[in-house]
Every structure is written in C-alpha cells, then in structure tokens.
A and B are shown apart, each in its own frame.
Chain A
C-alpha cells in the first residue's frame, strides 16, 4: 500500500489566468480517507488558496459534487483507495460556469427548480381544525425515491443534453417535480405540466440514462422523466380525443 497518492486538481484563478490549469499535490494515503479528506488536507497543510465547497461530509448536503477521474461523484463518499495507484484527477462539475478552482455557479439550476414549483399545491387549503393531510405508506412509497434528491448536481454534470442545450430544465428539477406530482396531497400536476411539457422540459431528454447512474441517492431521474413522458403523452391523447376530457 502506498504512503502517498497524487491528487491532480483543477485550478482556476480568474484574477490570474483566463483558463483553468491543473496542479498536482502529493497527499498522504489513508485507507479511510475520501477525496474530500485529501482536499481538506491540501487546504490545511499544503495550499490554503485551493477553493472547493463542502459541508456535511456524509452525503446529505450535496455540496461536494466534483468530477473524479472524469465521473461526477460526491467527494465525501468516494474513497482514495478505489483510485490507486493514482494520480487522481479532481475537476469541477461539467456544464456549470466555474467560479474558482472546483467551485461552480448553480444559479441556473436554482432558477429552474423554482420554475417547476417543488412544493405541495392545493386548490383549497383545508382549515387547520380538520387536521393533517393523511397518507398511507403505499402512497408515500410512490414518490419517496424522488424525494431523496439532495440537489448535488451530479446528474446535470452527467447529462450531455444539458451541456448541449443549456435551456433544458434538467434531471433533478424534473425528478423533484415528479416527486410532488405523485404526492397524494398535491393538486398541482396541471400547473407543472405546462412547464414540463414545453420545449425545454421532458421532451429535450433523449434518455441517455447517465443521470440515474451517477445519482448518489438512487433517485433515478431518468426514470422520472420517462414516466412523465408517458403521463404527458396520455394527457395529450386525452385532450385530443375527449373535448374537455382532461378537466
């Protein structure tokens, strides 16, 4: 087992350079270290100017998504030992503008997420005195998978369609829209359909399927999008055949 491993990291300092470069650091190899530990070692001991985002270190916050040897990964859940003998290449997520080093700007996703109205929409709220909206375990089960999304953006970085058509709403936002569409308490499916079945919605997706493969929370955004295509197509046929058939 080696005592050190080489970490090749993207550097981009907009005040000094016009394009990213790579810098290699030799970090101690420890069996229990993840890529994020190695990056923190660099930051604390070798080069304090290296910039990257992280917070929880346990796959919950979704801040530390980066490309490791070309594949989008949560660096807090990716062990050095899986990439021996190295060097290990750490890059910022694809298709997002790079702010500095490994930090990307997520404004585009935040805007799209808001567009799909990821909250429970009711035609009429029932009064507090009537109590909670109840759900059976089976009803929870229909959307639970899609609710596990932590907005880590690995799926966007894996999606060549998002790279080629930046206006595409994208995997996570559609999966989250579907999370609310399938919630038995929600009545906003028609409102979301307008956004999702437009040009930049589900029909941009050509089912590459990589979003599902890279998802660290097993959300299956590709599945959500294909299922929604079926829903939207059924809706379209109904609207065509039955006058006023979709209510």
Chain B
C-alpha cells in the first residue's frame, strides 16, 4: 500500500492549522496540565532551599542562625507560601492520577481506583505524621 495519496488538479492543497502559542489557555484541563508541569519548578525550589539549609548547617551555628533569619523575612515567607501551594497541587493531582498508571489485580479482579488513590493519601498522612512527631516531640 502506498502511503502517499494521489490527487489530481487541486491537490495536495491541504489546509494545516498551526498550533497557537496559547493552546494551553484553550480549555481548563490544558491550563491545569500546564500548571501541573510548572509545579516541578517549585518542587526543585524546595530541594534547593534544603541544600542551602544543609550548607548553612555545615558552616556552623552562626551561619545556621542567619539562614533561619532569612527564612523568616516576609519576602521569603510569601515565596514559600506560593511554592507550598504549588507543591500541594503537584501532590494532589499526581496522587489522583496514580490509578491510571498502576493497575493492580487481585485474584483476577482490578482493584478499584479509589483504593489505590486512598492508599497514596494514607501513606502521605502516615509519613507526614511521622515527620511531625519527630519534630514536635521535644517541645
């Protein structure tokens, strides 16, 4: 089979529409998708702050105190809040998508989506609880 169609007279005169630079504003799910992709920047941001914190810790108590003071500036708090919201969006949207990628079969039957999503949230809660316990137990 030839893949090139043969037309006469006016062909090929196909019309090809260009994809607009603003395609991601065309509908809400495209926008949500691009926002979800953008969240990776904020995840990276938290990783960088964490590395920065480790460096301050290695440089001694004075540097660490300076680091903590810098974290408390209004500008940083604002940035932190925005970044936190994006990371939440990242976590929630990806958790909700896990059943699409993970199909678990028990005794030949597919485990319902809500169970898989629920297990993700449960693990999240347990881990967050563990971290909170470690941080707060000496207070």
Q: Which residue of A lies closest to B20 (CB)?
A: A163
Q: How many residues of B contact A (CB 8 A)?
A: 29
Q: Are A70 and B26 in contact (CB under 8 A)?
A: yes
Chain B CB within 10 Å, residue with most, of A12, A110, A223: A223
A: contact size bracket = 35 or more
Q: Are A226 and B101 in contact (CB under 8 A)?
A: yes
Q: A98-B15, A110-B3 are in contact. Are A14 and B33 (CB under 8 A)?
A: no
Q: A207-B97, A223-B101 are in contact. Are A107 and B15 (CB under 8 A)?
A: no
Q: A19-B15, A105-B14, A208-B29 are in contact. Are A226 and B100 (CB under 8 A)?
A: yes
**With A and B bound together, what is the CA distance between A164 and B23 in angstroms?**
10
**With A and B bound together, what is the CA distance between A197 and B16 in angstroms?**
28
**Contact with B102, one of A70, A94, A230 (Cβ below 8 angstroms):** A230
For the complex, is A213 an interface residue (Cβ under 8 Å from B)? yes
User: What chain A residues lie within 8 Å of B100 (beta carbons)?
Assistant: 207, 209, 212, 220, 222-223, 226-227
**With A and B bound together, what is the CA distance between A163 and B104 in angstroms?**
32
Nearest-CB distance from A231 to chain B (Å)?
10
> Residues of A with Cβ closer than 8 Å to B?
12, 14-15, 18-20, 70-71, 94-95, 97-99, 105, 107, 110-111, 138, 141-142, 160, 163-164, 206-210, 212-213, 220, 222-223, 226-227, 229-230
Question: Which 8 residue pairs are nearest across A and B when measured between Cβ atoms?
Answer: A97-B14, A226-B101, A138-B108, A14-B13, A98-B15, A163-B19, A223-B100, A208-B33
> Residues of B with Cβ closer than 8 Å to A?
3-5, 9-11, 13-17, 19, 23-24, 26-27, 29-30, 33, 37, 97, 100-103, 105, 108-110
Write 12 A-B pairs (CB below 8 A) sorted by A numbering: A19-B15, A70-B26, A94-B17, A95-B19, A97-B14, A98-B15, A107-B5, A138-B109, A141-B108, A160-B30, A226-B100, A226-B101
